[in-house]
C-alpha cells in the first residue's frame, strides 16, 4: 500500500490521484451531429474566413458611409437605387457615389459599399430613389469577412466539451467529422451479501441494490460509458475474480458497499492485491462519504465508494465525476467554488466539525426573490434524502457550522 | 392571424403559447437504466416498505438501548455477546436483557434490539463479552423499516425528470421498467437562399448553415429528439411543401433564418397558411431575438427563430426549451429567476433600453473568490460570440442598463 491511511482532505485525495493518473487519451472520429457533449481531441482551426465576404446584418441599403454623413430626418440624404443584392449571389457591379443597393440580412456587400442603412431609416421616393434619414459609419450593420472566425484561428481548443453553439461553429467552418476523446468506460460493481437485483424480491435481511443504479446514472450524466457488472458477495476470491475481469474491460472501476471498516470489508485488501500502486487512501475527511477507498491498479483508477447511497453520490461527485468529465484527468485541481455555483440562504442552523468538509442535501426554493436552501433531514443511508433534495450545500472545512440566514454555496442536481 | 403583431414581452409570449398548447402526452415503457433524463408519465408508488426491516447503519453491536443508559468511558456497561447477524439473513433469535449481537452496516436488527452501539464505543473483553462506553437511544444507528420509503407512498411524481438518484430509488422499490413521456420530436429547417450545407464549399455570397446545427444540439441537450430537415430556399411553394411534411413528422417545428422583416421573409405567411390558429405573435421585446415568430399549426408549435445564431439560441432558450423539457408544456410560467441562477459581478457598463429584456453573452471568471461576468463583444450574427461565452447575463425590462460592479443574474451554458 502506497500511503498511510489517515483520512485525507478532498484536496489531498485529488492530489494523490493526480500524481498517479495516466495522461493517455483514445481518439475517435464521429459525425458532427454525434459530437455533442464529447471532448475535442485536438485544436480545431478554421481553414477559411467565416463569413467569406462582408455581409449585411440588416435589411436595407448598401451605401458608401460617407454619402450619409450629416443625414437626419429633417435633412435626409438622397440616393439613387442602382442595384439589388440577391441572396447567395455575388453582386455584379459597384456602388458608386450617391448610390444605394437594396440588400437583405445576410446579403453580400457589393463592392464600393462599406455600410448598410437599415430600411427603417430610409424612405422610398419611388422605385429608383430613397431618402436616408440617419447617417451610418463605415462598417455599420456589416459583418466583416473573417469577423466570425478568420482562416487559421483556433475555432475550438482540444479538451473543449462540445456544446450546441460549438456544433454551429464547426458547421460554419465546414467540419463534418470531429476527432473526439473516447469517453471513459466505467465498470460498476456492488458488493454485499445482503443485496439483490431490482427484479428480485428481497427476503428478510435483504435489500435491493441501489448504488449500482445511481452510479450508472451518474456516470452517464457526466459523459462516461457505464457498464453494470452486477452484485458480488463479500468474499475475497469472488471479488478478486470479478474485479480482474472488470478492470480489464474498463478504464475505471467503481465498487460500492465494501468500504465500511466493518467485519466483512474485503474490498480494500482485494483492490490492493490487484496491482501497483494499489490503495492510495482509505478515508476522506468529509461528511457524508468518509469511508472511501481510492486506488490505482496500473493506470486504472479503482474506487471503493461508501455503501450509503447519499455518501456514494457525494464522493462520486467530488472525486470521480471530474475524472470522467476531463477526458485526460486534467481538471482535478478545479476550484470547488465553481462546482458549487449557487448562493442560497440556509434556513436552519447546521453543525459541522472543524477540519471536515460537509455536503448537506438541500431543497431549494424562492422566498421574496431570494434563493433559500432547506436541509433535507435523514440519514445518508436513505436514498430518499437524495431524491427529495434539489442540490448539495457546501460547508468548508474551516467552519464549525452555519447559522440560519447565512449564505451557503450550493450545487444544484 | 390570431393576434396583433406588436412585440410581446417574454411573459406575454409565454402566456399566448400556453393558451394554445395541447396537454396531450404520449407514454412509453423503457427499461430502468434507459430512463435517465426522461420524464415520468405517472406517479410511481412504493409497493412495499424500503428497507423491509430495521437495519443497522453502523458496524457494531445490536442492543436494547436501555441496557446502555448511563454508560460512559469511566463507567462502561457490560454485555454478553449472544449472537451475530449474518448479512442478508434474518437473525435467528432474540436479543435479551444485557445481551449484544454483532452486526455490520446494513444488517437486519435482531428482534429484541432497538439500537446499535458503534464498534468504536465498545471494548471486547473476550470473544463472549464487551464493555459499552457510550449510551445509545432507541433507534440510534438504525434505519427503521419503511424509513427510506413506506409502502403506498409516492416515490416519484409524474412529470419528474429522472436523475441518477431516482434510478436508485426506483431500483430500491423493484421498478425495472418505467413509464416515461415520449420525448418531443422537433423538426429543424433552415431557410435562406444564401445557405449551403457544412460539407459544401460556399461560393461568394454563400455561407454554411449554422442554426440547424446549434438548434439540433440545443434540442438534444434539453431532452428532445431533433430531426434535421435541411435547407429550404426562401420560396413560398418550396417552404410550404417542406413545412407540411415536417409538421406531419414532428411534434414541433423550428424554422430559422426566415423571420427578419426583410424582402425575402416568407416564413410568416407560409406558417400562417398551414392551419389554425396560425401565427400568434411576430416580434418579442428582447435583445437579441426580437424578430421571432410564434405560431400553432393545429396542436403543434411552430417557431420562426431569428437568423442570427446568437439570437436564435436566446429565443430557443426562453420559449422553446421549456416546452421540450416540460413534456406537457406545463412549465412556461416558471420563474425566470431560477433559469438565471448565478450571481455575478458585471465588469463593464452596459446599456439596455427600458421595456426590453436583454440577454448578454458573458465570460465567467473568478476574481478574489467572486464570480465575475465579462460581456463578450460582437454582433448577434456571430456564432463566435456564443462560442466564447460561458453563459448569458439577464437584464430585466425595468432597467436601462447596468454599471460595472453591479450584480447580475447569469445562466451558465
CATH number assigned to the domain comprising residue B205 = 3.40.980.10
| A4 located within any domain | no
Question: Domain total for chain B?
Answer: 4
What is residue B118's predicted lDDT score, i.e. its pLDDT?
96
Same domain for B229 and B254?
A: yes
Q: What is the CATH number of the domain that holds B74?
A: 2.170.190.11
CA distances from A284 to A11, A292, B34, B104, B409 (A): 10, 6, 33, 21, 35
Question: Residues A163, A215: one domain?
Answer: no
Task: Report pLDDT digits (tens) over A12-38.
Answer: 998 899 899 887 788 999 999 999 999
Please check whether residue A163 lies inside any domain of the structure.
yes
Share of chain A above pLDDT 70, in %: 94
Residue range A38-47, pLDDT digits in tens: 999 999 999 9
Same domain, B177 and B187: no
Nearest to A366 among B198, B200, B337 (CB): B337
User: What residue in B sits closest to A365 (Cα-Cα)?
Assistant: B338
Statement to judge: residues A194 and A294 lie in one domain:
yes
* Most B-contacting residue of A262, A341, A392, A411 (CB-CB within 10 A), to test interface: A262
> What digits encode the pLDDT tens for the residues A335-344?
555 678 888 9
- A387 shares its domain with A400: yes
State the residue range of the domain holding B398: 338-412
Domain assignment present for residue B196? The answer is yes
Nearest CB partner across the interface for A206, out of B88, B195, B261: B88
pLDDT tens, residue by residue, A291-307: 899 999 999 999 999 99
- Residue A335 has a pLDDT of 54
Please check the confidence at residue B337 and state whether its pLDDT lies above 60. no
* Residue B1, in any domain of the structure: no
B3 assigned to some structural domain: no
Q: Is residue B403 part of a domain?
A: yes
Kindly state whether residues B195 and B324 are assigned to the same domain.
yes
Looking at the structure, tell me whether residues A195 and A330 fall in a common domain.
yes
Q: Which strand (E) or helix (H) includes residue A169?
A: helix A164-172
State the pLDDT confidence band at B18, using cuts at 50, 70 and 90.
Answer: confident
Mutate to test the interface with B, among A145, A387, A409 (most CBs of B within 10 A): A387
Supply the CATH number for residue B166's domain: 3.90.105.10
Provide ipTM, 2 decimals.
0.92
Omega before A51 cis (within 30°)? yes
Cell of A240: 478478486
DSSP state of A65: G
Cβ separation B170–A203 shorter than 8 A: no
Q: Please check whether residue A3 lies inside any domain of the structure.
A: no
| CATH number of the CATH domain containing B346 | 2.40.340.10
- Same domain flag for A327 and A343: no
Pick from A334, A360, A380: which residue ends a domain? A334
- In this complex, which of A51, A379, A387 lies closest to B156 when CB atoms are compared? A387
Q: What is the pLDDT of residue A337?
A: 52
For residue B176, the chain A residues in CB contact (below 8 A) are 198-199
**B309, B334, B359 — which closes off a domain?**
B334
pLDDT at A25: 81
Is A149 among the domain residues?
Answer: no
Interchain pair A205, B342: CB under 8 A: no
Band the pLDDT of A197: cuts 50, 70, 90. very high
Report whether pLDDT(A3) > 60: no
Nearest CB partner across the interface for B204, out of A53, A104, A234:
A53
pLDDT at A388: 96
Q: Are residues B199 and B117 in the same domain?
A: no
Chain B touched by A143 (CB under 8 Å): yes
Provide the β-strand partners of residue B408. Answer: B344
Ramachandran angles phi, psi of B338, nearest 5°: -75, -20
- Tell me, yes or no, if B86 comes closer than 8 A to chain A by beta carbon: yes
CA B167 – CA B183 distance, rounded (Å): 18
Q: How far apart are CA B22 and CA B300, in angstroms?
A: 8
Residues A204 and A319 in one domain: yes
Q: Are residues B75 and B111 in the same domain?
A: yes
> Are A195 and A322 contained in the same domain?
yes
Amino acid at each position: 500500500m502506497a500511503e498511510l491511511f489517515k483520512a485525507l482532505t478532498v484536496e489531498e485525495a485529488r492530489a494523490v490521484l493526480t500524481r498517479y493518473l495516466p495522461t493517455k487519451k483514445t481518439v475517435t472520429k464521429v459525425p458532427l451531429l454525434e459530437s455533442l457533449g464529447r471532448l475535442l481531441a485536438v485544436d480545431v482551426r478554421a481553414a477559411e474566413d467565416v463569413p467569406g465576404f462582408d455581409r449585411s446584418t440588416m435589411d436595407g441599403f448598401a451605401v458608401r458611409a460617407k454619402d450619409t454623413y450629416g443625414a437626419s430626418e429633417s435633412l435626409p440624404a438622397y440616393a439613387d437605387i442602382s442595384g439589388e443584392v440577391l441572396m447567395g449571389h455575388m453582386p455584379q457591379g459597384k456602388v458608386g457615389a450617391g448610390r444605394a443597393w437594396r440588400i437583405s440580412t445576410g446579403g453580400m456587400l457589393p463592392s464600393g459599399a462599406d455600410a448598410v442603412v437599415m430600411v427603417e431609416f430610409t424612405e422610398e421616393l419611388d422605385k429608383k430613389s430613397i431618402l436616408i434619414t440617419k447617417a451610418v459609419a463605415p462598417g455599420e450593420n456589416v459583418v466583416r469577412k473573417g469577423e466570425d472566425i478568420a482562416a487559421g484561428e483556433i475555432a475550438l481548443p482540444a479538451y473543449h466539451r462540445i456544446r450546441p453553439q460549438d456544433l454551429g461553429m464547426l458547421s460554419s467552418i465546414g467540419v463534418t467529422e470531429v476527432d473526439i476523446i473516447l469517453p471513459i468506460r466505467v465498470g460498476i460493481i456492488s458488493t454485499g451479501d445482503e443485496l439483490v437485483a431490482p427484479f428480485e424480491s428481497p427476503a428478510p435481511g435483504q435489500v435491493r441494490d441501489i448504488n449500482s443504479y445511481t452510479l450508472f446514472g451518474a456516470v452517464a450524466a457526466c459523459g462516461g460509458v457505464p457498464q453494470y457488472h452486477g452484485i458480488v458477495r463479500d468474499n475475497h476470491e469472488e471479488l478478486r475474480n470479478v474485479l480482474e475481469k472488470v478492470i480489464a474491460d474498463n478504464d475505471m472501476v467503481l465498487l460500492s458497499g465494501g468500504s465500511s471498516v466493518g467485519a466483512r470489508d474485503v474490498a480494500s485488501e482485494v483492490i490492493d492485491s490487484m496491482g501497483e500502486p494499489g490503495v492510495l487512501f482509505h478515508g476522506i475527511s468529509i461528511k457524508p462519504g468518509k469511508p472511501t477507498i481510492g486506488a490505482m491498479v496500473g493506470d486504472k483508477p479503482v474506487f471503493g465508494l461508501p455503501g450509503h447511497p447519499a455518501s456514494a453520490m457525494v464522493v462520486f461527485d467530488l472525486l470521480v465525476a471530474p475524472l470522467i468529465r476531463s477526458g485526460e484527468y486534467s481538471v482535478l485541481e478545479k476550484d470547488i467554488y465553481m462546482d458549487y455555483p449557487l448562493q442560497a440562504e440556509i434556513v436552519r442552523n447546521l453543525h459541522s466539525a472543524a477540519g471536515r468538509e460537509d455536503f448537506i442535501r438541500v431543497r431549494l426554493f424562492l422566498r421574496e426573490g431570494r434563493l433559500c436552501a432547506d436541509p433535507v433531514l435523514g440519514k445518508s443511508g436513505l436514498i430518499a434524502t437524495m431524491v427529495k433534495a434539489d442540490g448539495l450545500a457546501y460547508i468548508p472545512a474551516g467552519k464549525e457550522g452555519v447559522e440560519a440566514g447565512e449564505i451557503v454555496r450550493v450545487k444544484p442536481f
